[in-house]
């Protein structure tokens, strides 16, 4: 089995728990500062419940920190496009049951729920799993690098149940999934890409239909999502040609066919635009200087012509005067 996950499936994940729900969401304040840099998964039903890997990958770190992390394990998922996500699981009851260098399958047990570190035998922060999930990236691993890339997992991942595994997902007693309820693999309505605002720095399209299919890949043979693409503007990550259509990738794992009636908005590179205007201005100023020189030369030539005409006019008057005198002399003979 390949140790690399198909990039088209980077948005699919397994629930890390069987029992409980979300006790604290990933939170960013109005200033854009991350206040809670992970999602907390809590329990109610069973003690010593298992924690499962949400995606396949290699264990790249396993450690204990007595100050605020407790027992922790980090698993890196590598995708076929060369990017990877790091998933950090902290506050485990005891050391993870997997070790650094192990390959872990999605849904495989990696530890037991808990609340480490402990103070006087009690969980310092209560019993829960704090889950870090990063966006796809290419940074070398370090704990600090991982935390720089953390995201709200529900913005990019679709969590689903493992076949044959019993779940008790609670929405009571503080274990409230709320708006971050896991979306099972077959239910993707609430996570389909949303239209965005016009951004001249991005390549964008405007879908002008309410019945355009969303697919997992480019081409008519790619699996369709149950929901249509919403009408509106979308950022285009990349394009592909298949089945005589141009397909736009508008989010990881989401492709839509682009029609002639849709809006197509190429990105405006203002640096290039500025340089082009600067070059045009340089050409204009150079041509302006040349035209001024040509104008001044023309003025000089006009003045020379005026002087020449004045000389010719004077000579003409002298000749006329001589001619009149000659005629008078002839008449007097």
Is the model's pLDDT at 184 over the cut of 60? no
**What integer is the mean pLDDT of 124-136?**
89
pLDDT on residue 212: 93
Shared domain for 92 and 203, answered yes or no, is: no
Shared domain for 170 and 29, answered yes or no, is: yes
HSE-CB at 269 with a 13 A cutoff on CA atoms is 4
Is the model's pLDDT at 188 over the cut of 50? no
Shared domain for 299 and 219, answered yes or no, is: no
Does residue 1 belong to any structural domain of this protein?
no
pLDDT on residue 239: 92
Shared domain for 76 and 106, answered yes or no, is: yes
Shared domain for 126 and 172, answered yes or no, is: yes
Is the model's pLDDT at 90 over the cut of 80? yes
pLDDT on residue 235: 95
User: Is residue 73 very low, low, confident or very high in pLDDT (cuts 50, 70, 90)?
Assistant: very high
pLDDT on residue 189: 40
Question: Which range among 174-178, 215-219, 313-317 shows the weakest confidence by mean pLDDT?
Answer: 174-178
DSSP string, 123-152: ESS-SEEEEEEBPSB-PPP-HHHHHHTB--
Render pLDDT for 224-275 as a digit per residue (tens, 0 to 9): 887 789 999 999 999 999 999 999 999 888 999 999 999 999 887 767 777 8
Does residue 2 belong to any structural domain of this protein?
no
Shared domain for 153 and 210, answered yes or no, is: no
Output the furthest CA–CA distance in the chain (Å, rounded). Answer: 151
- Maximum mean pLDDT: which of 90-104, 145-159, 268-282, 298-312: 90-104
Q: Which of 129, 159, 184 is the last residue in one of the domains? A: 184
Q: What's the Cα-to-Cα distance from 17 to each of 111, 179, 240, 263, 322, rounded to whole Å?
A: 11, 18, 38, 43, 124
Q: Which of 148, 167, 184 is the last residue in one of the domains? A: 184
- Maximum mean pLDDT: which of 83-87, 190-194, 279-283: 83-87
In angstroms, the CA 262 to CA 255 distance is: 15
Shared domain for 180 and 223, answered yes or no, is: no
Task: Report the SS3 class of residue 186.
Answer: coil
Render pLDDT for 29-70 as a digit per residue (tens, 0 to 9): 888 888 889 988 876 556 678 999 999 999 999 999 999 999
**What integer is the mean pLDDT of 177-195?**
52
- Residue 251: beta bridge partners? 254
- Indicate the burial class of 327 (C-beta count within 10 angstroms; 0-12, 13-18, 19 or more): exposed
- pLDDT averaged over every residue in the chain: 85
In angstroms, the CA 262 to CA 229 distance is: 13
Q: Which residues contact 16 (CB under 8 A, 6 or more apart)?
A: 41, 51, 52, 53, 54, 89, 129, 131
pLDDT on residue 191: 62
Shared domain for 247 and 289, answered yes or no, is: no
Task: Supply angle C-alpha 73, 79, 85, rounded to 5.
Answer: 35
User: Is residue 187 very low, low, confident or very high in pLDDT (cuts 50, 70, 90)?
Assistant: very low
Shared domain for 23 and 164, answered yes or no, is: yes
Give the percent of the chain with pLDDT over 90: 41
Is the model's pLDDT at 99 over the cut of 80? yes
Does residue 97 belong to any structural domain of this protein?
yes
pLDDT on residue 64: 95
Q: How many domains does the chain have?
A: 3
**What integer is the mean pLDDT of 121-141?**
89
User: Is residue 98 very low, low, confident or very high in pLDDT (cuts 50, 70, 90)?
Assistant: very high
**What integer is the mean pLDDT of 301-321?**
88
Is the model's pLDDT at 175 over the cut of 60? no
Does residue 150 belong to any structural domain of this protein?
yes
Q: Name the DSSP letter for residue 121.
A: T
Please give the model's pTM, rounded to 2 decimal places.
0.55
Shared domain for 171 and 40, answered yes or no, is: yes
In angstroms, the CA 151 to CA 247 distance is: 27
Q: For 278, list phi and psi in degrees, rounded to 5.
A: -65, -45
Among residues 153, 171, 176, the alpha carbon closest in space to that of 26 is found at 153
- For residue 72, what are the domain limits? 7-184
Greater model confidence, 168 or 223: 223
Q: What's the Cα-to-Cα distance from 89 to each of 41, 54, 118, 173, rounded to whole Å?
A: 10, 10, 16, 23
- Indicate the burial class of 67 (C-beta count within 10 angstroms; 0-12, 13-18, 19 or more): exposed
């Amino acid at each position: 089995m390949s140790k690399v996950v198909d990039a088209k499936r980077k948005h699919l994940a397994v629930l890390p728990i069987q029992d409980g729900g979300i006790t604290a969401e990933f939170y960013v304040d109005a200033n854009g500062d991350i206040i809670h840099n992970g999602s907390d998964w809590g329990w109610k039903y069973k003690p010593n419940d298992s924690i499962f890997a949400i995606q396949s990958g290699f264990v790249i770190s396993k450690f204990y920190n007595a100050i605020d992390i407790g027992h922790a394990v980090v698993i890196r998922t590598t995708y076929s496009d060369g990017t990877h996500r790091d998933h950090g699981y902290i506050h485990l009851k005891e050391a993870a049951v997997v070790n650094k260098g192990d390959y872990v399958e999605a849904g495989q047990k990696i530890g037991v729920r808990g609340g480490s570190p402990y103070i006087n035998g009690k969980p310092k922060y209560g019993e829960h799993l704090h889950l870090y999930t990063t966006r796809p990236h290419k940074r070398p691993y370090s704990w600090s690098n991982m935390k720089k890339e953390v995201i709200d997992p529900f913005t990019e991942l679709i969590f689903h149940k493992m076949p044959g595994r019993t779940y008790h997902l609670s929405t009571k007693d503080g274990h409230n999934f709320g708006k971050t309820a896991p979306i099972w693999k077959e239910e993707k309505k609430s996570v389909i890409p949303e239209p965005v605002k016009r951004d001249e720095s991005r390549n964008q399209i405007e879908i002008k239909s309410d019945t355009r299919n969303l697919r997992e890949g480019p081409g008519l043979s790619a699996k369709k999502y149950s929901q249509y693409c919403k009408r509106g503007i979308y950022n285009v990550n990349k394009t592909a040609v298949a089945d005589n259509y141009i397909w736009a990738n508008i989010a990881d794992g989401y492709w839509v066919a682009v029609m002639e009636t849709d809006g197509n908005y190429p990105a405006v590179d203002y640096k290039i635009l500025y340089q082009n205007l600067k070059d045009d201005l340089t050409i204009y100023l150079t041509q302006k200087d040349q035209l001024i020189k040509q104008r001044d030369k023309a003025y000089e030539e006009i003045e020379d012509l005026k002087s020449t005409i004045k000389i010719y006019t004077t000579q003409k008057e002298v000749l006329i005067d001589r001619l009149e005198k000659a005629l008078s002399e002839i008449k007097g003979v």
